[in-house]
Amino acid sequence: MAKAGEAAKARADRKAHIKQKKKFKNRNAIGKARKNVGSAAKYITRTQAVKKLQVTLKDFRRLCILKGIYPREPKKKFKGGNTTYYFAKDVAFLAHEPLLDKFREQKAFLKKIRRAVGRHDKKIAMRLDARRPEYRLDHLIRERYPTFLDALHELDDALCLVHLFASIAPSQYVEASRVHNCNRLAREFQAYVTQTRSLRKVFVSIKGFYYQAEISGVTLTWIVPHAFAQQPSMQVDYRVMLSFLELYEALMTFVNFKLYHSLGLAYPPQIDAQRDDSGAFLSAMLLRSKAIDSGSVAAPVAAAPSSAKAPTQSQLQALKRKLEQVERDAAVEKPSDQVGGGAPDDDLAPMLDDSVPDEIATLRTLFKGCVFFCGRESPIASLELLVLACGGKLGWEGEASAFDAASASITHQVVDRPCAPSGLPPTREVVQPQWVYDCVNARSLLPTHAYRPGKLCPPHLSPFLDGSEGYTPKERLQAAIGEMATRDGEIDGEIDAEIDREIDGDDDEGEEEEEEEESEDEEEEIEDAEDEEEDDAPKTKKVKKTVSDWELINDAKALWTRNPADITEEEYKSFYQSLTKDFGEPLTHTHFSAEGEVEFKSILYIPKEAGHDVYNDYYKKQNNLKLYVRRVMITDEFDELLPKYLGFIKGVVDSDSLPLNVSREMLQQNKVLKVIGKKMTRKALAMIKSLADADKKDGDEEEEEEEGEESPKKDESEVDKEDGESKYDQFWKSFGKYIKMGLIEDAANRTRLAKLLRYATSKSGDKEISLEEYVANMKDDQKNIYYISGDDKDSLMKSPSVEKLLAKDIEIIFMTDAVDEYTVQHLTEFEGKRLINASREGLKLEEGDKEKKREELYKEMFKPFLDFAKETLGKKVEKVSISKHLVKSPVVVLSADYGWTAQMEKVMKSQAFADQSKFEFMKSKRMFEVNPRHPMIIELNNKIKEGASDDNTKDAVMSLYLSAVVSAGYQLTPEDAQDFSSRITRIVTSGLGVDADAELAPELDVPEDAEEEEEEEEEEESSTKEEL
């Protein structure tokens, strides 16, 4: 029994030991569980992977790039080894890739082609090459980028590589078809950016053009190389590059297709060959809607021959159903050259969101209303992207350009050469290309004077770099501090910044060595000092050293608190630049202070040039004038300080009479502010008047020099100024319309503003004179000021309305601005002289009794013709009378005293919201005056007296009237225009001796070529097959 018990106990111990051994089988010595080695931790070498997949190394590398599989570094890799490892699971994943079979098929076809070439059998080789297996990467795009946003996030590298190969010349490494495809993809993407106004930043570097766009909330940045010849480098592995490019082309095609589909545009877009050949890049893209009206049948491209049988109604219905089925299939299936689904993804955000920040909205319409013209030397492709993406238009030197170089609609000409072309209109801004890039980054239209051809442009700073990244250029620091200081009002103190700069210095070689320890025996050192002095002399060399120094950055100071006599012109200029962010100089300035019941100090500037679209923003709030209270800025959006017609003036005003602790809304109702506004208006007008007086003084000095009188010696600056325009001429060219608007709006200062007007006259030549000069030049017997309005001076000089005035040597003012018609309605007289429009009836000149009697005799003599003409013309004219305007012309059409002139009719027609009923009433009041001395009028009068008032006489009177209407500048009604055209045709046919009822000559028979007949037959057969 004892032995049996011991045996049972031994068996139990053995079982417990086996159980315990199993428990600790997967544990280490200290009892922790060992790590299981799974498939994710297994590695395989590249040689083993190539053997396992049975592909070449070239195909293996290409497959890894397409699938996104990259080499891995094992943790316990032997140091110094060059073996490349991959995850075993990745290689196993590649074994199931369908592209492997395609690669093997291609490899087999290449062997067959090589054998055929070796046998010199070209036909078989060409036939095999045409049947070479092809593959698509659609499934890889869906696999690697499950959603559209995933594809957008990975688009940066694709954009850079596609734009790079689009600029490479075809070579033995890169096929021409690959370059053309990249060029097409780059165009399509940039065309979408311009269509949706998605561009945000741009930077020009030595490498190329950096762009940044925002699409569906994803920020994309890419680089486009400069338009230089890119030479292939032997150090670049083009096989790897082309493998990546193959993937990126498929990705770009997928993204472009989805983007165009989101806008309802057809993809791929067509390219205008004519514009493409002329140098256009994005303008050659023809973006069209992809929507097709399923209820209608598309018209055939060419008309069917007359002998063809017309389709029946059943055939049309069958064709309609076929078209509907094709459209449904197209909505489900992808086109052959596109990847991705036909329906837009749910995660595709709207491309043109209205709820965008004001800064982005401003950028989208930055160049709205601007028309740019680029020379051949300018980067047209880059400028085209910027201008179109910001709402502008662009033309270039080429046959297919939308704008000709001489077009009057061009506002800016981009020139990338030292001097500007000659003969450009004065209203056209000529800038360097950098101005466009800086405007986009600044989100505003910068002044153009610093970017004129031949000038050194301001530094082009990168918009991709923030100050927190460790690099802040001095220019950006100055702009940021100036903006902050001007906004907060703390511009009275000085701000210094630590600036690093390089200098030339000496490098002491002894400084880098360690110093010798001090010797205990000082006497020996003193004795050996002289001997060691020559040996230990430090050797120096010239090196570049970087030193830090504090430099004054904020140069904008509260100049208005200082005495004007202590301030230099350079300080005024510096303050203007920091206040307005304008790199140029002001035209003039005034610095004054008011004391008494209301005290304030102010500095006002007049810019040298008007900003772009300054007149379009006339009724918007201006922020050119900043209001300070005790040197603390309150606001810059007050319209009460200066009237709107002085909104171009920039400056500051600081008052101690205004409360500091009130809101801006309460300040608007403050009476002190109104008093300040009145005084500032008078000071501003006085500043402009001083410019005009200085111009008049210079003119008087020139007259003295012409008469031979000695004049004081002038400095070089004044002499240089005389060679060009005077300051007031520059002011009038930029802000003349503002002064004319002031005459309409400000009755209190109308007299002051009238003295600032400048007009060209019949005696002023190329210059413009003031009304004061006109009055001073008037004849002794002249009592009125005569003017006429129209399009230009040359046409007005030839107007029949001014013949009598020119014959009497009376000076006439030419008003060629549209706003002049409104100005003279409020300026009826000047210095006691009435303003008379020469194109109105009742021209009053100084006449004696003899002239009055002669007029009465003419009225009685030509009464038959006057009555006949009134009866013939009917309601077209108000009255027919003897003219006081004409000298050489037979007739003239004038406006009534209470009617509109020809120029006023054009102005009113151009207004979209004009009152048409008032227009019809005012335009009908026309006067028809005749010249009693003209032979044509005398002969017509004699015929009418003899009773020959037939149709020919009526035609003659009507022809004279219509020609006078055109000569006076009026627009013919559609009926009168048709009548006038038919009359001209009859005159020409009569002069040539051609019968008016002559029939047209028969059309020429063009013989058809045999090739054209065959092509027409083939087209007819193909169309018949398609219908079936």
List, for residues 486-502, the tens digit of each pLDDT value.
444 445 555 555 555 66
For residue 73, is it within any domain?
A: no
Please give the backbone phi and psi of residue 500, each rounded to the nearest 5 degrees, phi first: -90, 135
Count of beta carbons in the 10 Å neighbourhood of residue 192:
24
Q: What angle do CA 164, 165, 170 make, to 5 degrees?
A: 140
pLDDT of 293 higher than 70: no
Q: What is the CATH number of the domain that holds 626?
A: 3.30.230.80
272 and 378 assigned to the same domain = no
pLDDT of 98 higher than 90: no
CA–CA gap between residue 261 and residue 305 (Å, rounded): 38
What pLDDT, on a 0 to 100 scale, did the predictor assign at position 711? 40
**Beta partners for 835?**
785
Q: Are 230 and 169 in contact (CB under 8 A)?
A: yes
Assign residue 651 a region (left: φ > 0; alpha: ψ between -120 and 50; beta: otherwise): left
Q: What is the CATH number of the domain that holds 387?
A: 3.40.50.10190
What pLDDT, on a 0 to 100 scale, did the predictor assign at position 499? 59
CA–CA gap between residue 402 and residue 937 (Å, rounded): 48
Three-class DSSP category at 404: coil
What pLDDT, on a 0 to 100 scale, did the predictor assign at position 925? 73
Task: State both tokens at 866.
Answer: 């006057």
Those residues whose C-beta lies under 8 Å from the C-beta of residue 643, and which sit 6 or more positions away, are: 681, 742, 745, 746
Task: State both tokens at 595.
Answer: 């004391």
Burial call 355-373: b when 16+ CB within 10 Å, e when fewer: eeeeeeeebbebbeebbbb
662 and 741 assigned to the same domain = no
What pLDDT, on a 0 to 100 scale, did the predictor assign at position 614? 61
What pLDDT, on a 0 to 100 scale, did the predictor assign at position 780? 86
Q: Are 630 and 660 in contact (CB under 8 A)?
A: yes
Q: Which of 671, 691, 711 is the last residue of a domain?
A: 691
- The sign of the dihedral angle between the CA atoms of 610, 612, 615, 621 is negative
195 and 250 assigned to the same domain = yes
CA–CA gap between residue 393 and residue 371 (Å, rounded): 5
Those residues whose C-beta lies under 8 Å from the C-beta of residue 930, and which sit 6 or more positions away, are: 862, 865, 866, 869, 880, 881, 882, 883, 886, 890, 891, 937
pLDDT tens for each residue of 436-480:
999 999 888 888 888 889 888 888 888 887 655 455 565 555 555
Count of beta carbons in the 10 Å neighbourhood of residue 119:
10
CA–CA gap between residue 42 and residue 86 (Å, rounded): 9
pLDDT tens for each residue of 819-860:
898 899 899 899 999 999 998 887 877 777 888 888 889 999
Place of tokens 């109104």: 674
Three-class DSSP category at 203: strand
For residue 90, is it within any domain?
A: no
H-type alpha helices, 404-537: 433-442, 474-488, 522-535
Burial call 625-638: b when 16+ CB within 10 Å, e when fewer: bbbbbebebbbbeb
What pLDDT, on a 0 to 100 scale, did the predictor assign at position 544? 60
For residue 502, is it within any domain?
A: no
More confident residue, 948 or 89: 89
CA–CA gap between residue 98 and residue 67 (Å, rounded): 12
Three-class DSSP category at 202: strand
Mean per-residue pLDDT, 354-376 = 83
Assign residue 50 a region (left: φ > 0; alpha: ψ between -120 and 50; beta: otherwise): alpha
In 3D space, the residue among 980, 993, 967, 973 whose CA is nearest the CA of residue 889 turns out to be 967
215 and 252 assigned to the same domain = yes
**Beta partners for 632?**
629
853 and 820 assigned to the same domain = no
Q: Residue 336, exposed/middle/buried by CB under 10 A (0-12, 13-18, 19+)?
A: exposed
* Mean of all residue pLDDT scores within the chain: 77
For residue 459, is it within any domain?
A: yes
Stretch among 67-81, 139-153, 222-236 having the lowest mean pLDDT:
67-81
142 and 254 assigned to the same domain = yes
Q: Residue 356: pLDDT band by 50, 70, 90 thresholds?
A: low
Q: Residue 200: pLDDT band by 50, 70, 90 thresholds?
A: very high
More confident residue, 345 or 411: 411
In 3D space, the residue among 75, 67, 64 whose CA is nearest the CA of residue 37 turns out to be 75
Mean per-residue pLDDT, 299-312 = 35
Strands 829-830 and 760-761: unpaired
Strands 496-506 and 542-552: antiparallel
Q: Are 907 and 988 in contact (CB under 8 A)?
A: no
What pLDDT, on a 0 to 100 scale, did the predictor assign at position 1018? 63
Three-class DSSP category at 506: strand
795 and 860 assigned to the same domain = no
In 3D space, the residue among 197, 208, 157 whose CA is nearest the CA of residue 381 turns out to be 208
Model pTM score = 0.53
What pLDDT, on a 0 to 100 scale, did the predictor assign at position 445? 85
For residue 381, is it within any domain?
A: yes
What pLDDT, on a 0 to 100 scale, did the predictor assign at position 557? 55
pLDDT tens for each residue of 29-63:
445 555 555 555 688 888 888 888 888 888 888 88
Angle in degrees, 0-180, between the axes of helices 238-262 and 155-166, rounded to the nearest 10: 110
State the DSSP H helix or E strand holding residue 651, giving kind and residue range, or none if neither: strand 650-655
The gap from C-alpha 523 to its chain's centroid, in whole angstroms, comes to 83
Mean per-residue pLDDT, 1011-1028 = 57
Q: Are 380 and 397 in contact (CB under 8 A)?
A: no
pLDDT of 390 higher than 90: yes
More confident residue, 997 or 866: 866
CA–CA gap between residue 1017 and residue 1028 (Å, rounded): 17
What pLDDT, on a 0 to 100 scale, did the predictor assign at position 667? 59
What pLDDT, on a 0 to 100 scale, did the predictor assign at position 496? 58
Q: Residue 810: pLDDT band by 50, 70, 90 thresholds?
A: very high
CA–CA gap between residue 119 and residue 128 (Å, rounded): 14
pLDDT of 591 higher than 90: yes
Mean per-residue pLDDT, 952-957 = 86
In 3D space, the residue among 493, 603, 605 whose CA is nearest the CA of residue 557 turns out to be 493
Q: Which of 286, 307, 326 is the last residue of a domain?
A: 286
pLDDT of 301 higher than 50: no
Q: What is the CATH number of the domain that holds 801?
A: 3.40.50.11260
Q: What is the 3-state secondary structure (H, E, C) of 858-921?
A: HHHHCHHHHHHHHHHHHHHCCEEEECCCCCCCCEEEEECCCCCCHHHHHHHHCCCCCCHHHHHH
672 and 622 assigned to the same domain = yes
Those residues whose C-beta lies under 8 Å from the C-beta of residue 488, and which sit 6 or more positions away, are: 633
Q: Are 440 and 386 in contact (CB under 8 A)?
A: yes
pLDDT tens for each residue of 100-129:
878 878 777 778 888 888 888 778 878 877
DSSP state of 728: H
For residue 900, is it within any domain?
A: yes
Per the structure, the complete domain to which residue 421 belongs is given by 359-463+476-481
142 and 280 assigned to the same domain = yes
Those residues whose C-beta lies under 8 Å from the C-beta of residue 18, and which sit 6 or more positions away, are: none
CA–CA gap between residue 298 and residue 301 (Å, rounded): 9
Q: Are 629 and 659 in contact (CB under 8 A)?
A: yes
For residue 67, is it within any domain?
A: no
DSSP state of 449: G
Q: Residue 54, exposed/middle/buried by CB under 10 A (0-12, 13-18, 19+)?
A: exposed
Three-class DSSP category at 583: coil
Domain count across the chain: 5
What pLDDT, on a 0 to 100 scale, did the predictor assign at position 743? 92
685 and 756 assigned to the same domain = no
The gap from C-alpha 853 to its chain's centroid, in whole angstroms, comes to 65
Mean per-residue pLDDT, 866-888 = 90
DSSP state of 786: E
CA–CA gap between residue 808 and residue 884 (Å, rounded): 12
857 and 979 assigned to the same domain = yes
736 and 678 assigned to the same domain = no
For residue 113, is it within any domain?
A: no
Q: What angle do CA 296, 298, 302 make, to 5 degrees?
A: 150
What pLDDT, on a 0 to 100 scale, did the predictor assign at position 516? 44
What pLDDT, on a 0 to 100 scale, did the predictor assign at position 156? 93
CA–CA gap between residue 318 and residue 420 (Å, rounded): 64
